[in-house]
Amino acid sequence: MDRHRTESRCPAIDAFAKIAGALGGLTEMDDLLHLLARTLSDLVGVERYSLHLRDDEAGLFHGRVGHTGTESIDSLVKRASAGMQADGMSRELLESRRPVIIVNARDDPRIVRSTVRFWRIRSLMAVPLLLGDEVLGIAYLDDVDRAHEFSDSDQELALAFGELAGIAIDRMKTTLQLRSELEAMSRQNAAFRRAAALDDRLSALVVEGRSLEDLIALLAEALGKPCALYDSADERVAVACPPGCAEDVAPRLLEAPYRHMPEVQLALGSLAESRGGVVAPVPTAGVLHRHYIAPVTAGGEAWGTLILMEHKRRFTGADILTARRAATLIALHMSAERKVRAGEATARASLTAELVAGDLDEVEARRRAEHLGLNPTGDHVVCLIAARGGGRDAVPDVGWVGAALDDIEAVGRVLTARLRDGVVAVIECPTGSTRRCYASALRQPLAEVCEQLTAGAELVAGISAVYTGPEALSEAYEQARQVVQCIERFSPPGSGTVFTAEELGAGRLFLAMSDEHEASRFALQTLGELVDDPARSDLLATLCQFFAHQASIRRCAEDLGVHENTIRYRLAKAEELAELPFTRDPDAQTRAQISLAILQLQGRIPAEVARRVESSAVRSLEPVTHGSA
């Protein structure tokens, strides 16, 4: 890439860095598109923009948002499409993957005449919004009924911004899809909460020491379906039918003669032995209803089988969940000692998952946290341990992770759970620890845990900032998840495996959506003079500490063990070399902090600098004595 193009990309990156902080608060795709298009039009210096997104099925680009001056033209833009055969301008853009400029729209054959007349176009630039080589959308920029001279610099600037915008759009699509899935899960959770109420009633019967017949009768009544329980030898232990059901309507799938019929054996053999499942009707064997088979197991030992028969209405997800829970309760009823251990482990994992998902209100979260021994008013960090590359099978057992974290001397109570992203751990900060640096001080112990538990794939971990109260843990989990995403994107295998949200700062959201090559170039352009020269490690360490202490020269001097004037001299020297006013310009500070985060993730910060920065954080694990600052 020549120097002119590189210089053109810097304003695009700077502009995108300013809006990166707003991306996390957007809830609609059109809001993001307006933000991106407005920023791009301001960079190029035009008064009107419109943005079209690709329709994968139709192969066209449909209008989404538009604006001219102070007026929204969304309704007009949404009627328009681009990419047709007659649309030569868009076709050229799709072939070149570069911006296309129309100098005189009235005479240029690449643009449709009716479009020129309707929109009163004189000159126009079309900009591709790219994700790799894929064109996700097209932005059109012009001045209404007025010519505009687009320079080569404008073209390169628009191309650079279009690449960043494409990443943001792709990330937003993923976010919206996940949000839709979460809403569906929320609806399911409502049904599952009703199942949980039944689960509570079943649990109460177990605690009261009621018989298995009572448990099966309650289950049949609540679900409205015939139920039967068999022991490990397939001998019937209990059977019950809901009120109003004929007595002869009962599950007999595991009884003679059905059990020994080849068609039934084939259907039962297709189920996963450990999870069971639904058995379709087998008319040739006289089995005319669907059955749900739930293995009754505890501690890896099979105690029997619970069967539900479909009656009057079809099975629902709540029916299946309730049956599984009932089977578990029955197994625990058969093994009271195992019930206590398994129940506590399940409760801790469930609480952890619900806390980090934000599914509990504040009162319920604090009540349940206190019940399990987690200080509801204490400080906590959230760690997410995942396998590099997303390999779920390589993530260690959640129990092993909890045990390894419990062995760390300066770690308080730990709650763990296995989620889709990996193993999440909620760690209580012990009384007397220095809150400000506690998360950073966990880096090395957690890295040792990852090294200890690695099996097949390299483990990586993200650590959130310190949060107070269980209701804040969902935000902490999101921070840890973003850190892991940044590690996956920027940190090469064998380099840094554990980072904190405080190290990456607010720029982690931007980094999670950035092209690693462009971001690396951006970081080296910003701090290359300090990173590449070992003789300037003092300047780099000072700059790292300066940002780690929220631009406090006094605390920076205390941690580095030098005079405050020494810090001021080093910062001034760093500003001179980087040609950026770190101490007084918020934009320069943002640029430097993002660059430091990139270089840390890539392992480009010299080892001696990293050790000097981390040494102060390690002191936070030491108890605070009376008289300490």
Residue 601: name the closest of 480, 511, 538, 477 by CA: 511
Using DSSP's 3-state secondary structure scheme, residue 68 falls into strand
Confidence at residue 612, expressed as pLDDT on a 0 to 100 scale: 53
Cis omega before residue 257 (within 30°)?
Answer: yes
Q: With contact defined as beta carbons under 8 Å apart, do 112 and 126 qualify?
A: no
Could you give the CA distance from residue 85 to residue 82 in angstroms, rounded to a whole number?
Answer: 9
Equal fold, 373-502 vs 514-622: no
The tokens describing 16, both together, are 């995108």
Residue 463: name the closest of 451, 476, 452, 448 by CA: 476
Could you give the CA distance from residue 413 to residue 548 in angstroms, rounded to a whole number?
Answer: 27
Q: With contact defined as beta carbons under 8 Å apart, do 251 and 237 qualify?
A: no
Residue 30: name the closest of 56, 51, 12 by CA: 51
The answer to whether the Cα torsion of 124, 127, 128, 129 is positive or negative is negative
Q: Which residues are registered as beta bridge partners of 624?
A: none
Residue 303: name the closest of 265, 251, 338, 264 by CA: 338
Using DSSP's 3-state secondary structure scheme, residue 597 falls into helix
Contacts of residue 75, defined as CB under 8 A and 6 or more positions apart, other chains included, come to none
CATH number of 514-622: 1.10.10.2840
Confidence at residue 63, expressed as pLDDT on a 0 to 100 scale: 92
**Consecutive 10-residue runs of the chain (629 residues): their mean pLDDT?**
54 73 79 89 91 90 91 92 89 92 91 91 93 92 91 88 88 86 76 75 80 88 90 88 81 86 86 80 88 85 88 84 86 61 69 80 78 76 84 74 79 83 85 72 83 78 85 86 83 76 75 73 75 74 76 81 85 80 79 76 64 48 32
Q: With contact defined as beta carbons under 8 Å apart, do 88 and 172 qualify?
A: no
CATH 3.30.450.40 applies to domain 3-177:
yes
Confidence at residue 6, expressed as pLDDT on a 0 to 100 scale: 52
The answer to whether the Cα torsion of 578, 582, 585, 591 is positive or negative is positive
CATH number of 373-502: 3.30.70.270
Q: With contact defined as beta carbons under 8 Å apart, do 220 and 226 qualify?
A: yes
Q: What angle do CA 335, 212, 296 make, to 5 degrees?
A: 55
Q: Tokens 């005079």 sit at which residue? A: 563
For residue 60, the tally of other CB atoms under 10 A from its CB is 16
Residue 448: name the closest of 403, 498, 482 by CA: 498
Confidence at residue 618, expressed as pLDDT on a 0 to 100 scale: 42
Is the pTM here over 0.85, yes or no?
no
* CA-to-CA dists, residue 236 to 239, 305, 307, angstroms: 8, 9, 11
Domain boundaries, the chain: 3-177, 210-334, 373-502, 514-622
Could you give the CA distance from residue 480 to residue 236 in angstroms, rounded to a whole number?
Answer: 50
For residue 182, the tally of other CB atoms under 10 A from its CB is 11
Confidence at residue 611, expressed as pLDDT on a 0 to 100 scale: 54
Confidence at residue 617, expressed as pLDDT on a 0 to 100 scale: 44
At the top level of CATH, the class of 210-334 is alpha beta
